[in-house]
Amino acid sequence: MINDSTNTHTIITEDEIDLKELFSTLWKNKLIIIIITTLFTLFGLLYALSKPNEYRSSTVLVPQNDPKPSLAGFGNLAALAGVSTKGGQASAIDSLQAILNDFEFNKYVIKKHSLINKLKTDPNNLVFAFGYDGIYNLFNSKNNTLEKEKDEEELLYDAYEIIQKILSLDSDKNSGLITLSAQHADRFLVKDLIEIYLAELTQHLRMREMADVEQQIKYYQQELNNTNDIKLKEELSKLASVLVQKRVLSQSNPYYNVSQLTTPHVPYIKDKTGPKRALILVVSFVTGFILSIFFVFLYKFIRNSEIENSSKN
């Protein structure tokens, strides 16, 4: 029992000595900790000041039901023309997302609307903390110099990647509503991009599907002319009328397959979504503080190792 209590007391004493030594090391090197933490915090502050405010604009869309009546009972005939009667069609959100991600489609839109120039943000449209834009202008001037050295294809791809980061499509699982939104430092650009892409996305989808419809209508008309079977003629006429109805109804809405519930607007200047400058400062301070402590203990470990090696020699 005496030995056990003695050992326990020895362990507690050693732990107390170790803790005292650790705190003593930190206190002796407090100036280094303060300097490193301050430097990281200052870098975080400069980074936060270099970032302009970001703004978000959006439009809410209501998916429209397929105007095409059921083709049940005409499965074999429809299959010959490439018409599916078993469902499984892509939803509005899936179709729009696939087109939005397509590089060739984006190239067409970028060229048509001169988006390369529009993405070169007008400094007059940017809003900074305390109204200070010196740091931003310093780095932005270097980026403009590098862009002059790029060819058109590279500029198009860069614009495509930027747009992919700006625009986003989301769907509410319960209501089925689709939200097309844009987030960028230029609060005027986000509204313009939504209007441009909403029109181009739905028009592209309309043209692609109407091209298929026209091909199918042509096929049915050819079959009507080539058959003398009255019953078959009736079935082919019904199929053709279904497709004609779809073609007519596709023109009834300015945006194919969706209707606009809310319109995009230019965000209010105080209604920013980022950057979170306070969080950037906190993260910078904590990171600097932790790394400074790590540096102090690493330095002490290296010094102790050198002393031990020199004493052995």
pLDDT by residue (tens digit) across 62-109? 998 654 444 444 445 555 444 444 444 568 899 999 999 999 999 999
Entry field: residues in the chain = 313
> Same domain for 289 and 160?
no
Query: CA 83 to CA 24: how far, in whole Å?
Result: 80
Asked if the structure places residue 69 within a domain, the reply is yes
For 82, list phi and psi in degrees, rounded to 5.
Answer: 85, 20
Query: CA 236 to CA 77: how far, in whole Å?
Result: 8
Task: Report, as an integer, the average pLDDT of 185-193.
Answer: 96
**For residue 284, what are the CA distances in angstroms to 25, 53, 89, 280, 298?**
23, 19, 49, 6, 21
Predicted pLDDT of residue 4 = 55
N-to-C CA span, the chain: 43
Predicted pLDDT of residue 271 = 94
3: pLDDT confidence band, cut at 50, 70 and 90?
low
Region of poorest pLDDT, from 134-138, 167-171, 257-261, 265-269? 134-138
Task: Report, as an integer, the average pLDDT of 227-232.
Answer: 82
> Same domain for 43 and 138?
no
CA atoms within a 13 Å half-sphere pointing along the CA-CB vector of 63: 20
> Same domain for 214 and 138?
yes
From 234, 260, 286, give the residue that closes a domain. 260
Query: CA 123 to CA 265: how far, in whole Å?
Result: 20
> Same domain for 70 and 137?
yes
Asked if the structure places residue 270 within a domain, the reply is no
| E strand spans, the chain | 55-63, 167-171, 178-184, 258-260
Q: Is the pLDDT of residue 137 over 90?
A: no
% of residues, the chain, pLDDT over 70: 83
> Same domain for 137 and 21?
no
Domain, as residue range, for 159 = 52-260
> Same domain for 197 and 212?
yes
> Same domain for 97 and 215?
yes
> Same domain for 58 and 181?
yes
> Same domain for 149 and 237?
yes
Query: CA 302 to CA 313: how far, in whole Å?
Result: 17
Predicted pLDDT of residue 5 = 53
Asked if the structure places residue 137 within a domain, the reply is yes
% of residues, the chain, pLDDT over 90: 49
**For residue 312, what are the CA distances in angstroms to 63, 304, 306?**
80, 12, 10
Asked if the structure places residue 265 within a domain, the reply is no
Asked if the structure places residue 11 within a domain, the reply is no
Predicted pLDDT of residue 42 = 96
> Same domain for 107 and 144?
yes
Q: Is 194 exposed, middle or buried (0-12, 13-18, 19+ CB in 10 A)?
A: buried
Number of separate domains in the chain: 2
Secondary structure class of 168 (helix, strand, coil): strand
Q: Is the pLDDT of residue 25 over 90?
A: no
> Same domain for 20 and 77?
no
239 vs 126, higher pLDDT: 126
Asked if the structure places residue 34 within a domain, the reply is yes
Asked if the structure places residue 5 within a domain, the reply is no
Tokens, residue 252: 């009834």
> Same domain for 64 and 187?
yes
Asked if the structure places residue 8 within a domain, the reply is no
SS3 of 223-274: the string is HHHHCCCHHHHHHHHHHHHHHHHHHHHCCCCCCCCEEECCCCCCCCCCCCCE
Query: CA 261 to CA 57: how far, in whole Å?
Result: 14
